[in-house]
Amino acid sequence: MKNKICPSMMCADIFDLKNIVSVFEKTNIDYLHIDIMDGCFVPNYTLGTDYCRMLKEHTAIPLDIHLMINEPENKIDWFPIDEKDYVSVHCESTNHLQRALSRIKEKGAKAMVALNPATPLFAVENVLDDIDAVLIMTVNPGYAGQKLIPSTLKKIKSAREFLDSRGYKDIEIEVDGNVSFENAVKMKNAGANMFVVGSSGIFKKEFSLEEGIERFRMAVKS
Ligand code: DX5
Ligand code: ZN
């Protein structure tokens, strides 16, 4: 499965967005990861619908929209999404997970279920036919700059084994939270192939964005 790099746009300097996106285009970045928070499901606000729309107008890089909002099934239409994009919904955020996933599919996009660190894997068991990927949160969602929760590494491995044993080898595994160069290697070895890279990965003061991307690619060998 191809390794995909998904920079976390909440970690990108909004005043330098034009240059940042152009670096992503030149370096063939796979997806732009956009964190949408509603102050209820998670205790923070970040990016929103206009931000997604603006990115869509300025770049052809597909979006990876991470919805950390309650009742996502009623809000999917608010977002500008098409067949190239991923949209993830947290199973903890809705009583109607299957409905939320089928709304995403109706719009032609790829659907992903996100799991908080404490949520057991079997929460995805009955929606395997409705998803293209599982997002394993490796920190509790809400903030950048947190430390990896070590038990999530085992969870990635169990998720890969679980998906393969059920005959869902094509379902991808995304990881989000403290995806540093070092942690990314462990995550990849456990079975992840989509990496949300933020403040602990490519967005660092010590090196340029280009260098960060290069170093990340070397680490996960993609
Ligand atoms: C939350 C976010 C964060 C963050 C990732 O969903 O996606 O996990 O931006 O970057 P780090 O953890 O490296 O700051
Ligand atoms: Zn995220």
Whose CA is closest to 62, among 89, 35, 83? 83
- Between the CA of 177 and the centroid of ligand 1 the distance, in Å, is 4
- Between the CA of 167 and the centroid of ligand 1 the distance, in Å, is 30
The pLDDT of residue 54? 97
Work out the average pLDDT over 72-76: 98
Pocket test for ligand 1, best of 33, 140, 176 (most atoms within 8 A of CB): 176
Ligand 1 atom having least distance to the Cα of 179: 13
**What is the separation of C-alpha 126 from the centre of its chain, rounded to a whole number of angstroms?**
21
| Strand pairing category for 133-137 and 172-176 | parallel
CA distances from residue 10 to 17, 18, 186 in whole angstroms, order as listed:
11, 14, 24
User: What pTM was estimated for this model as a whole?
Assistant: 0.97
CA distances from residue 186 to 80, 134, 167, 178, 191 in whole angstroms, order as listed:
34, 17, 24, 12, 9
Question: Looking at the CA of 204, which ligand is closest?
Answer: 1
* 84-117 residue pLDDT tens: 999 999 999 999 999 999 999 999 999 999 999 9
* 146-203 residue pLDDT tens: 999 999 999 999 999 999 999 999 999 999 999 999 999 999 999 999 999 999 999 9
- Between the CA of 208 and the centroid of ligand 2 the distance, in Å, is 22
The pLDDT of residue 52? 98
Residue % of the chain over a pLDDT of 90 = 99
Contact 10, 42 (CB under 8 A): no
- Between the CA of 108 and the centroid of ligand 1 the distance, in Å, is 26
Question: Looking at the CA of 143, which ligand is closest?
Answer: 1
Residue 127 has pLDDT above 70, yes or no: yes
Catalytic residues: 35, 176
Work out the average pLDDT over 53-63: 98
Give the binding-site residues of ligand 1, using a 6 Å CB cut-off.
Answer: 8, 10-11, 35, 66, 139, 141, 144-146, 176-179, 196, 198-201
Residues 6+ apart with CB under 8 A from 59: 21, 24, 25, 32
Work out the average pLDDT over 27-50: 97
Nearest CA to ligand 1 atom 3: 144
Question: Looking at the CA of 146, which ligand is closest?
Answer: 1
The pLDDT of residue 222? 67
